[in-house]
Every structure is written in C-alpha cells, then in structure tokens.
Structure 1
Amino acid sequence: MAAPLQIGFVLFPKLTQLDLTGPVQVFARVPGAVVHLLWKRIEPVPTDSVLTLTPTTTFADCPQLDVVCVPGGAGVDDIVNDQDVLGFLRHQAEGARYVTSVCTGALALGAAGLLDGYRATTHWAARDCLAPFGATLSTERVCIDRNRVTGGGVTAGIDFALSLVSILADQPTAEAIQLVIEYNPAPPFNSGAPETASPAVLALTRERMAPFQQRRREAVARAAQRFKAGLKLGV
C-alpha cells in the first residue's frame, strides 16, 4: 500500500480564508491524501473575515510533507519576518516534493529564500514584492517552475490545486474533482484582473488598498534585507 500523500497548509492570523479553503476542498478529495492545517500551537486562528480556523497539527508535530502550501492575506506582512514560520518552511522544503503558495503566500516563500531563481506569481497588487527575494515575476494564474507551484490571487487557489492534482495524480482525477465541486466559473462582471477592470474601478481599488500596500512594502523591505544578508553569509 502506498504511503498517504501528506499535504500541509500553513495557518496564520489574518490569512484570507478562500486562499486556503478553495485548495483544501480540492486536495481533500484526492484519494490517499491527508491534509494538515498547521500553526505553532493548537489554538483558533482568526482569518481576515468572520471565520476562525483550528489547526490540526503543530509545526513541531508535522510529518514530512509532500506538498507544503502558504496561503495569503494581510497576515503575510507579519509572517515574512517570523523566523518560526520561515524556519518551518525551509525545513519542510528540504524534503517536500512541491513547495507552493496561493496569492501573497508567495512572499513568505520568498522571505524563506525558497523562490530565489524561480518564476512565481502572486496577487496582482503584490507583484512588485517578489523581485526583492530573487524571484522572477510571472503573471500566469498558475505558475509552475520545477517543484515550485504558485497561484495568483485568492480564487486562483482552486486553479492552482486542480493543476497540482493533475501532476500528483493525473488529469482525469483532477477533472473529476472539478466536476464534483462544480467548478464552472461564469463571473457576472469582467473585473477580476487589473487588465480587464475599468479604469474607474481600478483607481478606486488602488486607492483603498494603498495603506495596506505601504505596510506590506515596509514588511517586505525588512524581510528582503535579511534575505540578502543571508545570501552574503551563505546561509
């Protein structure tokens, strides 16, 4: 009997729950897969919405994962400078088959030094935050570069998960899961990307996000300094 496929998602306060729950719904339907929700302690973790999530495993008790995934959200601004989280990601990446993220979770991978020399994607509003970690920006909805698989913003997590299932298992398995969850998107508006949103909607969104983006850039700048210092020291 084949060993179960171990898939782990890192939790953290103020994560965007759909970054996580979309892929979890997909991976939970993969035959033989065990999905872990991971945090430092077994305690409720608040998301950036009304939902609270409960970890199933701590970092210390986590088995070696086949797939490690970091979702995004406002809380990424904190974990890019959290050495417990970054150390866990580095440790797991040594033995993982795939090192992955959804949305701005890519910034945590970058801060851990795991995207240096790789192509990666992230939420459109955080694209300028990848280069400081040595990553090459991709604007694909799902970017696959060797064993680094990154998804774009929020809803791209489902596309990311289905794409990875087609690699971990096969395309028919991924297609069957897509059918079961009736993933057949037909958005009521064509405003889901900066390239298709109207100038007025884009301007309004950028204005509302500006304070949050400034905080993120400051957090990324601190993390990037540590990343570059580590490169100089060879660590």
Structure 2
Amino acid sequence: MGLRFGILVFPMIQQLDLTGPYEVFASARDAEVELVWKDHEPVKSSTGLTLTPTASFSDCPDFDVLCVPGGTGTNPLLLDETVLTFIRKQATSARYVTSVCTGSLVLGAAGLLNGRRATTHWNAHDLLTHFGAIPVNERIVQDQNIITAGGVTSGIDFGLAVIAELLGRTEAETIQLILEYEPAPPFQSGTPERATQDVLATARTRLKPTRSAREAIIAEWALSHGK
C-alpha cells in the first residue's frame, strides 16, 4: 500500500497553502491524497476558489501524513472541538503531523505543539507561544514527527522536504524537476527582513483585521484552558 496523505480543507482556507503541497504529494509515486473535512460539501477559499472534500472525518482512513493548511479560516478552527478532536485522533497513528502557514496554530490548539519547535506565517509567529510552542524563524521546522512550514509559498518547499523524508531525496528532486520548481521572484520582499518599511507597513495594515480576530480567539482559547 502506498502513502496516504490527508490535507484538511475548510472554509476560507488560503488555497495555495493547500494546493502547493497537494501538487507535490500527488506527484509522488504510489501516493494517495485526500482533502478531508467534516462533510463532502464544497468550500470556498479566502480568494473564492471552490474546493471539494474527497473524504469526511467519519469516512477517511488513518493517514501517514496529516497536513493542516492556514488562512483566515483557521481562526474558528482554534475553538472547533470537532476539528481539534479529529486532529488529535489522526495524530495518534500518523507518521507525521504537519502544517503550512497558520495551520500550526490549529496544531497548537489541539495540544500538539507544547514544548515543540515550530514556525508559521511571519504575521502570526509570536502567537505560537500561547500554545507552548518554541517559535523558530525558519521556512521549515521539524521536531520529531511534527513538521511545520512558514507562510503560504513555503508549502511547496515543505512538500518536497516531506517527500524526501518519506521516499528519499531522489524522489523529491524528481518531483521538483517535473514541477520545474526553480523560484526566481522578481522582487526581494518575501520576508519582513527583506521588505521595505513601506511595504511591511502596508502588509501589516492589510492583515490587521485577521490578526485582531485571531488574537481575540486565542485569548478565549487560553482562558478556557486556564492559561
């Protein structure tokens, strides 16, 4: 039997958090990738792309790799016990429990990051400490069987790293070549350290509503957990 990958899909997901690693995982030999949610009803991403779950919490198999993407839609998941229970259950048997972007906050809310090194999107990096995680400013962070990735586009790098871990470097490099993944961005503003102050300020302003809502939800989560 080949590898089984399960990627959580949910309303207001950041679609590239999902589709980046999905493309990598689905390109691996003998791999099966499921998009899993509470039911089989289509959901819309934060940018309007419709995604259809292929499995539900009740009918999906145990996955070798569980991946939780990020996006504004992670905010309600932090208090969604149905989702958190599903993640905990899968974590008991999965070889790797993983996330992209702010999906790591959901892993934290499920209690999986306490004392673990982890990363997330730069605009939520400091929030990891609320869940007992140790924030690490790296694109991909592995702590035992927990692998977390930074924001959005890091999902492709992450996917290749996971394939290398499971199937070896040659398979990962073969997939990289098939996808012609050779990043050469036209601008050097992909991290807060490289962006100009004007660009950083604009980005923070644009992300402020999601950040403020997330802070309030995490405060509620912390209160309910006696933090």
TM range (shorter): over 0.9
What is the letter of the counterpart of residue 15 of structure 1?
I
CA distance in 2, matches of 1:228, 1:167: 37
Residue number in structure 1 paired with 2:206 = 208
- State the 1:210 CA deviation: 1.6
Residue number in structure 2 paired with 1:86 = 84
For the aligned residues, what is the CA RMSD? Answer: 1.0
Q: What is the CA deviation profile of residues 55-74 of structure 1, one whole-angstrom value per residue up to 9, with x for unaligned ones?
A: 00000111111100100000
Residue number in structure 2 paired with 1:96 = 94
Gap runs ≥5 in structure 2: none
- State the 1:38 CA deviation: 0.3
Residue number in structure 1 paired with 2:186 = 188
- State the 1:102 CA deviation: 0.1
Out of 106, 113, 118, which is 1:108 matched to? 106
CA distance in 2, matches of 1:156, 1:216: 21
Q: How many matched pairs? A: 227
Question: Any residues of structure 2 matched to 1:120-131 within 5 Å, and which?
Answer: 120-131=118-129
CA distance in 1, matches of 2:99, 2:173: 21
| Most deviating of 219-228 and 178-187 | 219-228
Question: Any residues of structure 2 matched to 1:39-188 within 5 Å, and which?
Answer: 39-188=37-186
CA distance in 2, matches of 1:61, 1:76: 22
Q: What is the CA deviation profile of residues 149-208 of structure 1, one whole-angstrom value per residue up to 9, with x for unaligned ones?
A: 001000000000000100000001000000000110000000000000001111111122
Answer yes or no: is the 8 Å Cα contact 1:80–1:220 preserved in 2. Answer: yes
SS of the residue aligned with 1:161? helix
Gap runs ≥5 in structure 1: 230-235
CA distance in 1, matches of 2:69, 2:207: 19
Aligned identity (percent) is: 52
CA distance in 1, matches of 2:141, 2:37: 26
SS of the residue aligned with 2:141? strand
CA distance in 1, matches of 2:76, 2:97: 20
